[in-house]
Amino acid sequence: MIAKMTPQEIILALGLPDGCRVDQRVPKKLLLENGAPTAADKRLINENIKEIHWVAALKPNTIGVLNYCDDLREYLEIAVLTVMLRTTEAKLTNAVRLSELVHRAVPYPLFLLMFTEQRLTLSVAHKRWAQNDAAKVVLDGGVVLASLPDDVPSADTFNAFTQSLSLTSQPQTTLFSLYQGWGNSVHALLAAKLTGIFKTARSPEEATARHKALQEYQRLELQLSRLRVLANKEKQLARQVEFNLALKRAQVQLALVRRQL
């Protein structure tokens, strides 16, 4: 088992130049005003978030990487944020929702680190202009999240992952390509949890294929869980046989998808 990890370890691994450091505390009320669409979300933020810290702003003039603009999005800056959660361990489902709320609240793409004493979650999420309102920015494709140390199978994997996060290891064409590179590193970590081998994608096509394979793997895992519950509840022998056959087919599909990672 890998020891617990700190945000400082990950931030150090990024190799950020001093010129992009911000090191400012962000008032929680800004998140409540911009990232909490429901009363339940406001309660989730108030009960679980202790402190928000703006670590760095990655811009063309601070890291020497060009901004990016096309018909879908404009990346003028990447923000690095840490969010300290309350010492009482937040449930993983809450951590996922909290990550989404923070990503939604900030108009820039985020490299987001949320942490408690027991767990650190790292997440990225692409953004685009809203189709019905070009003045608004929405998530594009959902949040890509890894939980550390839960999603790290070995010390070698962790070392390879942190090395891949370094700015010098990421694409330098535009801020979009840089941010996509970080997303690919997180996908590589999630794949390594299943395969035991950490390897970064060699091309955009390979990265896209891995992302789709991870989504399919998660879908099949949910299907397997549902089938097991139904099989355990079923009393009729014929139906039990049907469920067992369905389980075997899903397990074969799962093994095939794992090979694509």
Domain ranges of the chain: 7-200, 202-261
| E strand segments, 86-152 | 110-115, 120-124, 127-130, 133-139, 144-148
Per-residue pLDDT for the chain (261 aa), expressed as one digit of tens each? Answer: 566 778 999 999 999 999 999 999 999 888 888 877 888 888 888 888 999 999 999 999 999 999 999 999 999 999 999 999 986 555 556 778 889 999 999 989 999 999 987 789 999 999 999 887 767 888 998 899 998 888 888 889 999 999 999 999 999 999 999 999 999 999 999 999 999 899 988 888 888 899 899 888 888 888 888 888 887 887 888 888 887 888 888 888 888 888 888
pTM: 0.87
Residue 133: C-alpha distances to residues 72, 158, 178 (Å)? 12, 41, 26
Residues facing residue 14 across a β-bridge: none
